[in-house]
Amino acid sequence: MPSFTAHSSVSQPDLDSFSKHLKSSKRILALCGAGLSASSGLPTFRGAGGYWRTYDATQLATSEAFMEDPSLVWQFYNYRRHMALQAKPNRAHFALAELARRNPDFLTISQNVDGLSPRAHHPAETLELLHGSLYDVKCTNFHCDYVEQNNFTDPIVPALEIPQNTGADLDISDAEVPLKDISTGDLPHCPKCKTALLRPGVVWFGEPLPVKTVSRIDDWTSQHIDLILVIGTSAIVYPAAGYIATARKMGARVAVVNMERPDSGASKLNAGDWFFQGDARVVVPQILEAVTGNIEEPR
């Protein structure tokens, strides 16, 4: 029976073999998903937190939903902006940032739009936010090029103020709490063309990923890769999930950090892969410690 390390279910022999490979790895890729931020208090998409009111989050993350009911979709995104601003990056975000500082040939591809990796001071040049950010906004007018980054205004417009004291522990993410009927005129509008609505600067389902981001990642993954860390993702969404197979093709060993053992899909374990079961907040700092040193719990 392998001995387990003190504070997680990571077995010592796995940790030793992984640490040895980590220390000898030059080109390391990390693919992160909502599980990385779960312990910061942000619900995941497909886990229990995958619903907002009565909607599967993926039903609201589309341009069709926005065109049909911009008020509902803006209330969804303004709520997530607010919640992510209240949340704090956890030790796993900081550990990845430290690995990035110590290894210039490291790249984090994050599917998360919650802004927590940038707030953990992850070096920007080795962080690709594949699906954009809740804190970017852009104009919906095809002929207007207005884009604003790092807009942390909360609420983004007064009309989207989240109603408080809506009953014991309930908020607008609960279907029992009525949503405000916000007229389109009171939603965020473009300050440049002054006509069109602004939308969240995220990639919706059915939309192409930013060309610059994809080509940067394609460049980076066109050379040999020593290791890919697959952290807190169900690996269901493409093209993000496809980077795991790409990394394998480029020679990478695979280490999966997840609460559940992935038995199918893009992150299905192959012989020789490491699987570290547990909360990313606990497991990621532990498995990276051989290179990053001890990562303190953020105060």
Binding site for ligand BV8 (CB under 6 A): 33-35, 38-39, 44-47, 50, 58, 61, 111, 113, 131, 202-208, 232-234, 236-238, 240, 257-260, 279-280
Find where tokens 């077995």 sit: 11
Q: How far is the CB of 36 from ligand BV8 (least distance, A)?
A: 7
Identity of the residue, 45 or 220, whose beta carbon is nearer to ligand BV8 in the bound complex:
45
Identity of the residue, 28 or 109, whose beta carbon is nearer to ligand BV8 in the bound complex:
109
Amino acid 274 reads: W
Active site members: 131
Q: How far is the CB of 197 from ligand BV8 (least distance, A)?
A: 17
Identity of the residue, 27 or 234, whose beta carbon is nearer to ligand BV8 in the bound complex:
234
Identity of the residue, 38 or 244, whose beta carbon is nearer to ligand BV8 in the bound complex:
38
**Which residue, among 112, 158, 130, has the nearest Cα to 243 in the 3D structure?**
130
Q: How far is the CB of 279 from ligand BV8 (least distance, A)?
A: 4
- CB-nearest residue to ligand BV8: 35
Identity of the residue, 27 or 89, whose beta carbon is nearer to ligand BV8 in the bound complex:
89
φ, ψ for residue 282, nearest 5 deg: -95, -45
Is there a contact between 171 and 76 (Cβ–Cβ < 8 Å)?
A: no
Instruction: Give a three-class secondary structure readout of 221-277.
Output: CCCCCCEEEEECCCCCCCCCCHHHHHHHHCCCEEEEEECCCCCCCCCCCCCCCEEEE
Identity of the residue, 11 or 58, whose beta carbon is nearer to ligand BV8 in the bound complex:
58
35: Cβ contacts below 8 Å, ≥ 6 apart: 44, 47, 231, 232, 233, 257, 258, 259, 280
Q: How far is the CB of 284 from ligand BV8 (least distance, A)?
A: 8
Amino acid 217 reads: I
Q: How far is the CB of 165 from ligand BV8 (least distance, A)?
A: 27
- CA dist 252 and 246 (Å) reads 9
Q: How far is the CB of 136 from ligand BV8 (least distance, A)?
A: 11
